[in-house]
Structure 1
């Protein structure tokens, strides 16, 4: 899949459009993905985007970023979107990297990541953040899709969904009904999550809480205004995508 296939008019790309459109053009026509991302960064931005060859054999990717302040970057959609998220939400990405590196230092690299690194990777790759009225949160947690998207549909005018995961952004380059995000649930006692407040989101990422994998599945093309077909109630009558709660 080429960077030329990205449809920058899609609503999930709104937080990334200003930087991403010009960076994609540069990567397609004049330079590498790493160089295009670096050119789009503000002066003094850290980390630095570097070619994938800069990653030494045998060194964990997250540990390398933490130790060197460089992000190994391939010329593909996946790493392009990873770089865009770094540029748009640097505090959050740095916090994820800090937690990953600390866990690698503590536990080493094993055949399994462990619960915390699993959760960090899941959020980094496929996560989303929702700022919404309480009624929508309740319906989402219960996987009550009819309430979430039909009965309470008008409340989405007061909600904001941020697609954070770079693999999720890559999947949405070719939108399919089944594409599902893992939405980060606010910690108990928290008033919610502010989208897209990078600093507040970074502060909310607590290792002990994340290790519990506090996520709710959300088929993102069900969000009102995000896909034309969901204007019909029948769109949600698909138990293979909008699966009932446990």
Structure 2
């Protein structure tokens, strides 16, 4: 999330301690580095690959392709404006990024991976993105743009930039995640993944970091309690349910703080990284840290 075209620092510096303060222009080779076989990128499907080819062609082609999809989808932003993507230079000087999106529907977009993945989330989870924009713009209405975002906007920024959706049908697995019980979550109950829990990458800065994955890469997990039948649904139905449920929670919850998240080292997710097949992978306490929480 950006303001006046420049990202603030307070929440960004808190995102796993490693997020770039401002995404730089991405060379075409950067877009070429997206490996669609990776599970965190595979969720973006054929649309992502079409956008990649457009981005490799030119900035103008990327915006045109994104806008063609937006026109077809008829998605709206936080205040019901029709979604569109504009060049970063078209953001009026001094305009607040989220407020501009809410009032016009136009998302300022740079020719880089950070904004590529941000745009992708407007299609993967459109209701969640609209809910985040609605809450952010409402906070701006009250507090204005200042040197810091404040607690609610920090939380919303962490979600937008670095969230994972941890869908879970078994409360004991959610408890293991909240309790930093990595051995239970990833080793002893490894077979439960895909049957009683799973993850979707949402944060666009997290996806950008996963271009070059590293063991310590950690997301902010938002735990979603799902019904028992969830894992019998196809992927599209699961994503639609998550989109509706999480967006409703974001809009309907007054107490939004960063404490709602649970840290989750991404490469520890079963099936997401070859080295994690060995139980010893989880012995690294610099990544799989013992918890400090009581619940």
Same structural fold, with TM-score higher than 0.5 when normalized by the shorter chain: yes
**What residue is the counterpart of 1:14 in the other structure?**
42
**What residue is the counterpart of 2:32 in the other structure?**
4
Asked if 2 retains the 8 angstrom alpha-carbon contact of 1:179 and 1:219, the reply is yes
Q: Which runs of 5+ in 1 are unaligned?
A: none
SS, match of residue 110 in structure 1: coil
Alignment of 1:193-204 (within 5 A): 195-196=238-239, 197=241, 198-204=243-249
Following TM superposition, by how much is the alpha carbon of 1:102 offset from its aligned partner in structure 2, in angstroms? 0.3
SS, match of residue 245 in structure 1: coil
CA distance in 1, matches of 2:100, 2:127: 18
Asked if 2 retains the 8 angstrom alpha-carbon contact of 1:23 and 1:40, the reply is no
**What residue is the counterpart of 1:36 in the other structure?**
65
May I ask how many residue pairs the two structures share in their alignment? Answer: 242
CA distance in 1, matches of 2:158, 2:34: 23
CA distance in 1, matches of 2:56, 2:101: 25
**What residue is the counterpart of 2:89 in the other structure?**
53
Q: Is 1:179 the equivalent of 2:225?
A: no
Asked if 2 retains the 8 angstrom alpha-carbon contact of 1:149 and 1:222, the reply is yes
Following TM superposition, by how much is the alpha carbon of 1:32 offset from its aligned partner in structure 2, in angstroms? 4.0
CA distance in 2, matches of 1:210, 1:181: 17
SS, match of residue 56 in structure 2: helix
Asked if 2 retains the 8 angstrom alpha-carbon contact of 1:62 and 1:100, the reply is yes
Asked if 2 retains the 8 angstrom alpha-carbon contact of 1:62 and 1:97, the reply is yes
SS, match of residue 72 in structure 1: strand
Alignment of 1:154-233 (within 5 A): 154-158=191-195, 159-186=197-224, 191-192=225-226, 195-196=238-239, 197=241, 198-205=243-250, 206-211=252-257, 213-233=259-279
Following TM superposition, by how much is the alpha carbon of 1:216 offset from its aligned partner in structure 2, in angstroms? 0.1
CA distance in 1, matches of 2:34, 2:145: 35
Q: Is 1:151 the equivalent of 2:188?
A: yes
SS, match of residue 214 in structure 2: coil
TM-score (norm 2): 0.78
CA distance in 1, matches of 2:216, 2:258: 25
CA distance in 2, matches of 1:139, 1:116: 26
Question: Residue deviations 1:6-36, cap 9 Å, x none?
Answer: 0011111232122101111112125443223
Following TM superposition, by how much is the alpha carbon of 1:200 offset from its aligned partner in structure 2, in angstroms? 2.0
SS, match of residue 213 in structure 1: helix
CA distance in 1, matches of 2:248, 2:44: 21
Following TM superposition, by how much is the alpha carbon of 1:42 offset from its aligned partner in structure 2, in angstroms? 4.8
Following TM superposition, by how much is the alpha carbon of 1:91 offset from its aligned partner in structure 2, in angstroms? 1.1
Q: Which runs of 5+ in 2 are unaligned?
A: 1-25, 76-81, 231-237
For residue 93 of structure 1, the aligned residue among 126, 129, 133 is 129
Asked if 1 retains the 8 angstrom alpha-carbon contact of 2:167 and 2:223, the reply is no
CA RMSD of aligned residues (A): 1.7
Question: Residue deviations 1:99-127, cap 9 Å, x none?
Answer: 00000000111221111000000000000
Question: Residue deviations 1:161-194, cap 9 Å, x none?
Answer: 01000000100111111110100135xxxx4487
CA distance in 1, matches of 2:97, 2:267: 31
Following TM superposition, by how much is the alpha carbon of 1:213 offset from its aligned partner in structure 2, in angstroms? 3.4
